[in-house]
A = this chain, B = another copy of it.
Amino acid sequence: MAAPQKKRTTKNAQSMAKSQREISISEFFTKNRHLLGFDSPAKALLTTIKEAVDNSLDACEEAGIQPQLFVEIRPDQPLNLGIELSSQDEKPKNGNGNKAPAKEDRFKLIIEDNGPGIVKAQIPKIFGKLLYGSKFHSLKQSRGQQGIGISAAGMYGQLTTGQPVVIYSRTGITEPAHRFKVKLDMKKNEPTILEGDETIWEKEHGTRIEITLTGSYKRGQHSVDNYLEQTAIANPHVHLTYKDPKGVTIIYVNSTESLPVEPQEIKPHPYGVELGILARMLTETKARNISAFLKDEFCRVGPKTCEQILTTADISLRKHPKRLLQDDIQRLLDAIEVTKIASPPTDCLSPIGEELVMAGLKNGLEAEFYTSVTRPAAVYRGNPFQIEVGIAYGGKLPGDELAKVIRFANRVPLLYQASACAIHKSVLGASWRNYGVQQSRGALPNAPMVILIHMASVWVPFTSESKEAVAHYPEIVKEMTLALQEAGRKLKRHINRRAREKDALKKQSYIQKYIPFIGEALQEILDIEDSEREEVIATLTDTLERSRKL
């Protein structure tokens, strides 16, 4: 072994051990805030509203209430602290790219719903603790899933303005309303309650949250305005009132009063389980024998399947789950793998539906052709999911540009990180030339086209905690590709028909041009009257007209 060539430091294992420390989850996400969607002031604004709206819609739907939301971005002035540059000379200059941070705007974001409200005891943790929530452990389609979003938004507000999150909540007309002011203790990842009293609130039931943060309000593709517009497209049952920073109010009226089909919670499917998870489930189960364990803890395991699995694994049906050794567990897993088990139920999913996808596109875009496809449910890692695609083409859509892709996951619009997303990858990968659309290698198709893709699942695998892009699981990309192909073939038929029509029209106008000359020539050869000539011309024109219609 080579001796150290040059001892530059006196560091060794002992001195290095001293710097080993535990990292709190809130410290981690403060430093890695871009993972949560807070890497720029504009994005911070959008992410906060998105997390709050997601929660409101989930809560309303779970309680069977038609959502009525109010969203406001209110400019908020910090105290005038009287600091001004003393002279132009002292203005910081950029030395080597080192900039003083740009002055950002301060906003108070208000999101209010008519949902079921939150019981008093839960309020501080939901808004003041990362990794706390109801959706992480449940297999059911919902917008939120991690228990990070809204508390992270509050943490960001606190980080940039020092202000706590303010929450109003009321669970019913016979209950008192509560008003909380909550901060997040970043070392402990626990809520600090500054205020938490009963209050008077005119709302019968619902939740209102106020977060003050520095951010930047912008229009365009990545804007709050665009996010809310797309939310309305994918959620036609939502009534949404939005007041922008200039005080302009936009109302998205719900186009339907019926809530989406309520997704049912399912148990995990045996094909999705892994050794470590199975081992843990076995120690945590309340079942007294392995047979009951399999039937209770998984979906699609009936008495026959159960017996088949256990016979293959050579494990007694009556064995206590906690008595299984590592080898038994491995055998159980191997037996599951070779047993035919029905696909998980799909009533845990609530797709938008072909009709509403199409209606959404028609509502927002003036195209000449629309189509939509809702695929049957499929499964990745034991999780059911379903893909929907909509295409709008031609008409007033911009021509010589790359196609626009609109992405949704569980009805939530995804505005950032398009190129990291499996949806984007699938669109790139579909052979658009086959469908009569131009496409350069490695680029989006080049056409007057908008492509909408929706993934509905009990668990959408996002590429980061900020839930902006879908991870590239092969099963998911495959389903997206199939859906795009199906929609692409429909598009091709339209484009071909259009091309044929154009072609026929061209030929027709060509022949039409010559019909009078044919008339004249016939008149000369057959020596007929002018009226007969006119008749011939009329007959020929008529024949041409009829042939075109066929």
Contacts and interface: CB of A to CB of B under 8 A. Distances in A.
A6 B334 contact: no
A464 B463 CA distance: 7
A78 interface: yes
Contacts of A279: 162
Nearest to A98: B343
Interface string A122-152: 1001100101111011100000001100000
Contacts of A12: 63, 116, 171-172
Contacts of A450: none
Contacts of A340: 90-93
In this complex, the member of A30, A98, A99, A464 whose beta carbon has the largest number of chain B beta carbons within 10 angstroms is A98
A341 B92 CA distance: 7
A86 to B, nearest CB: 8
Interface in A305-354: 312-314, 326-327, 329-331, 334-344
Contacts of A17: 118-119, 121-122
Contacts of A462: 32
A196 to B, nearest CB: 16
A83 B20 contact: no
A114 interface: yes
A159 to B, nearest CB: 3
Nearest to A328: B81
A357 B462 CA distance: 35
Interface in A56-105: 59, 62-66, 68, 78-79, 81-86, 90-93, 95-101, 103
Q: Is the interface of A mostly helix, strand, loop or mixed?
A: loop
Given A21-B134, A98-B378, A259-B5, A162 B276 contact: yes
B343 A9 contact: no
A68 B2 contact: yes
A343 B11 contact: no
A404 to B, nearest CB: 12
Given A25-B25, A81-B330, A420-B463, A11 B116 contact: yes
A131 B28 contact: yes
Given A21-B133, A419-B420, A441-B402, A96 B379 contact: yes
A35 interface: yes
15 contacts: A4-B64, A6-B259, A17-B118, A20-B132, A20-B133, A22-B125, A35-B465, A83-B331, A93-B340, A98-B269, A98-B341, A98-B343, A103-B337, A162-B329, A442-B444
